[in-house]
Amino acid sequence: MSAVGVTSGTVDRRAGVTGTRRRRLIGPETYEMVFGTLYTGLATNMLLAIACLPTAFLLVATDIARTWPALVVTAPLAGPALAAAFAVFGEFSAGGTTTPVRTFARAWRRHLRRGLALGALATGVAVVLVVDIVFFWGRTAGAVVIPVFATLTAGTVVTAFLALALTPEQPTARLRDLLRAGLFLGARRWYLSAGIVLVLALLASIVTTRPAVGLGFAAAPLLFAAWGAARFALRSPADQTAA
């Protein structure tokens, strides 16, 4: 056999191995995972918009500068909607697959009361703090009190977010226990809380400027990123050491 024949046969075998590897890298499981991820994200976006329909309508169809009081009234609806979305995220992360519509609906019904309570508490405290910030804006005392109020506002958001992230995992926990865990762990792991605030601020800016894009596409991936940080923040030190 000539050297050319040996070389040609070697190249053919290598090409065959390369083709086999490519087929293995892009197999049915990969397509299924990609499709499942996209479907879960889009379905969660749709379900969040439906669960917060009054708020979504105000964001899309009205001038927020004029209708913000109505927006404040409807904001607590985000509580049970977020708890349900976190249940979907948890199921998807645990098994790689989920039934987002069924899981969302079941979790929304189960956590409706506590989700509304957490949403109402967070909204009420945040509104008072924001009104105080607006009042002191441009005043001499504002240089001192505004950073304090801004920090308290961020702490309120993070505490409520962590409590809602913990709700599907602790369905029988009392409301004050969820808030206590969110407050304590949010302050203890402040670096994760800062990341959560940044992600939520980015989502809020997208939703307020381009509601269709924010509610239709950006909500699920950004909330998933913030939920991942929240879940890590809620883990006990022993669990983190073991991991």
- Residue 5 within a domain: no
If you average pLDDT over residues 26-51, what whole number do you get? 84
pLDDT at 26 over 50: yes
Q: By the 8 A CB rule, do 100 and 37 touch? A: no
- Residue 3 within a domain: no
Query: To 5 degrees, how large is the angle CA 208–CA 221–CA 103?
Result: 105
**CB-count burial class (<10 Å; 0-12, 13-18, 19+) for 18:** exposed
Least confidently predicted of 31-45, 57-71, 170-184: 31-45
pLDDT at 15 over 70: no
pLDDT at 13 over 90: no
Q: By the 8 A CB rule, do 127 and 134 touch? A: no
Mean of the per-residue pLDDT values for the chain? 86
- Residue 51: count other Cβ atoms within 10 Å of its Cβ: 22
- Report the domain count for the chain: 1
- Residue 73 within a domain: yes
- The residue segments making up the domain with residue 157 are 20-242
Dihedral class, residue 89 (left if φ above 0, else alpha if ψ from -120 to 50, else beta): alpha
pTM: 0.84
Structure tokens at 67: 């209708």
- Residue 9 within a domain: no
pLDDT at 5 over 70: no
- Residue 11 within a domain: no
Residue in the structure block whose two tokens are 């479907």: 39
DSSP 31: H
How would DSSP label each residue in 127-144? HHHHHHHHHHTTSTTHHH
pLDDT tens digits, one per residue of 121-165:
999 999 999 999 999 998 989 899 999 999 999 999 999 999 999
- Residue 143 within a domain: yes
pLDDT at 163: 97
Distance CA 41, CA 49 (A): 12
pLDDT tens digits, one per residue of 184-195:
999 999 999 999
